[in-house]
C-alpha cells in the first residue's frame, strides 16, 4: 500500500515539475484541480459508503459521542505547544513560530496568513512547515499507526478531512472515518482564528 | 468543503441502505483512487516552483517546528484519549 502511495507521489512531483518547466504540455489546473477534486470527492463517497455498511463503526461512533472533540483540541494545543518550544530553541520570534504551527497542515492558509501578520520570511516558513506536515503524514503512516491507532490523525491535523483521510481510513479502519474527518474539519475552522489570536497576543 | 461533506453523507446513506446485501469489496477501487489523488497532489507540488525553491532556505527551522508540533500532538492525543476512555 505505502509503496504505491510513495511511487504515485514521486511520479506526480516529477511529472508536475517537468510539465511546468518544459512547456506545459498538460494544463496544470486539469491535474492539480479537476483530477484532484474528482478523486477526492469520489473517495469520500466510497469511504462514506464503507462506513454505512459497517455496523460496528456506527455503534462505536455513537458510543464515543462528543468525546470525539478531544482529538482536534489535543492536536491544536499540541501543535501550538510545539511551535512555542521550537521558537525558543531556534531563537526566533516565538509568536510567529506558534502561528506557523497553528496552520495544522493547511499550508495554503498558513502561508499567506502568517506572511501577512509576521512578514514574508515567516510566511515561507508557515507554508513549508504545514506543507511538510501533510507530506510527513502520508509518507510515515505505516509507522505512526503502530505508535497509536489515532497517531496519524494527530499528524494529519487539518488535512484529515481531505487529502490524508483516504490513507488514514485505509490504515486505521472505517471506524476512524468520522474521528478523522471531524478532527480535520474542526481544525480547519479554528486554524484562521488561532493564527489571528496568536498574532494579536504576541 | 461543502461538496466533501455532501459526498461523504450521500455515501453513508447508500451504504446504510445496502447493508443487508452481499459483501461488497471496495479495496481495489479505493487504492486506485488514492493513487490518482496522491499523484495529482504531487503534480501540484512539482509544478509550484516558488514552493520548491523556498523550501531549502527555511528547511532546518521548518523541520524543528514541524517535528515538535507533531510530537506534542501525538502525545496529547494519546494521553487525552486514554483519560476520557476513547477506544
Q: How confident is the model at residue B1 (pLDDT cuts 50, 70, 90)?
A: low
* A chain contacts of residue B25, beta-carbon cutoff 8 Å: none
User: Cα A53 vs. chain centroid, distance in angstroms?
Assistant: 26
- Please list, residue by residue across A61-84, b when 16 or more beta carbons sit within 10 angstroms of its beta carbon and e when fewer do: beebeeebebbbbbbbbbbbbbbb
* A chain contacts of residue B8, beta-carbon cutoff 8 Å: 44-45, 47-48, 181
Question: Which three three-digit cell numbers place residue A165?
Answer: 483521510
Question: Which three three-digit cell numbers place residue B1?
Answer: 468543503
Query: Which ranges constitute the DSSP H helices of chain B?
Result: 2-17, 27-46, 49-83
Are residues B74 and A52, on separate chains, in Cβ contact within 8 Å?
no
- In a structure prediction context, what are the per-residue pLDDT tens digits for chain A, which is 202 residues long? 788 888 998 999 999 999 988 887 888 888 888 898 899 899 889 888 988 888 887 788 788 888 899 999 999 999 999 999 999 999 999 999 999 999 999 988 898 889 889 988 898 899 899 999 999 999 999 999 999 999 999 999 999 998 999 999 999 988 899 999 999 999 998 999 999 999 998 7
Are residues A127 and B12, on separate chains, in Cβ contact within 8 Å?
no
Tell whether the model's pLDDT for residue B22 goes beyond 70.
no
Are residues B26 and A31, on separate chains, in Cβ contact within 8 Å?
no
pLDDT tens, B61-84?
999 999 999 999 999 999 999 998
ipTM score over 0.90, yes or no: no
Contact criterion met (CB below 8 Å) for B6 and A30: no
How many CA atoms are closer than 13 Å to the CA of B9, on its beta-carbon side? 7
- Give the per-residue pLDDT at B26: 80
| Nearest alpha-carbon partner for A78 in A102, A100, A97, A95 | A102
Q: Which of B2, B25, B41 to mutate to test the interface with A (most CBs of A within 10 A)?
A: B41
Q: Which of A86, A103, A147, A185 to mutate to test the interface with B (most CBs of B within 10 A)?
A: A86
Amino acid at each position: 500500500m505505502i509503496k504505491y502511495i510513495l511511487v504515485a507521489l514521486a511520479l506526480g512531483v516529477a511529472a508536475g515539475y517537468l510539465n511546468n518547466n518544459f512547456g506545459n504540455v498538460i494544463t496544470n489546473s486539469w491535474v492539480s484541480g479537476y483530477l484532484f477534486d474528482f478523486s477526492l470527492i469520489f473517495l469520500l463517497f466510497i469511504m462514506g459508503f464503507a462506513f454505512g455498511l459497517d455496523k460496528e463503526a456506527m455503534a462505536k461512533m455513537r458510543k464515543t459521542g462528543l468525546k470525539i472533540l478531544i482529538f482536534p483540541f489535543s492536536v491544536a494545543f499540541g501543535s501550538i505547544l510545539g511551535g512555542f518550544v521550537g521558537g525558543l530553541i531556534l531563537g526566533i520570534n516565538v509568536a510567529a513560530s506558534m502561528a506557523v504551527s497553528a496552520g495544522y497542515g493547511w499550508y495554503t492558509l498558513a502561508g499567506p496568513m502568517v506572511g501577512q501578520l509576521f512578514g514574508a520570511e515567516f510566511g515561507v516558513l508557515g507554508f513549508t512547515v504545514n506543507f511538510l506536515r501533510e507530506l510527513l503524514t502520508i509518507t510515515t503512516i505505516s509507522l505512526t499507526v503502530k505508535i497509536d491507532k489515532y497517531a496519524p490523525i494527530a499528524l494529519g491535523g487539518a488535512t484529515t478531512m481531505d487529502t490524508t483521510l483516504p490513507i488514514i481510513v485505509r490504515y486505521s479502519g472505517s471506524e476512524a472515518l468520522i474521528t478523522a474527518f471531524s478532527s480535520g474539519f474542526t481544525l480547519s475552522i479554528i486554524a484562521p482564528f488561532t493564527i489571528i489570536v496568536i498574532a494579536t497576543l504576541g | 468543503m461543502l461538496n466533501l461533506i455532501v459526498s461523504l453523507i450521500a455515501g453513508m446513506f447508500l451504504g446504510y441502505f445496502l447493508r443487508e446485501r452481499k459483501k461488497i469489496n471496495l479495496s481495489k477501487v479505493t487504492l486506485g483512487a488514492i493513487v490518482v489523488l496522491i499523484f495529482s497532489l504531487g503534480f501540484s507540488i512539482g509544478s509550484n516552483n516558488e514552493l520548491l525553491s523556498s523550501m531549502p532556505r527555511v528547511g532546518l527551522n521548518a523541520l524543528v517546528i514541524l517535528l515538535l508540533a507533531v510530537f506534542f500532538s501525538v502525545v496529547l492525543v494519546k494521553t487525552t484519549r486514554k483519560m476520557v476512555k476513547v477506544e
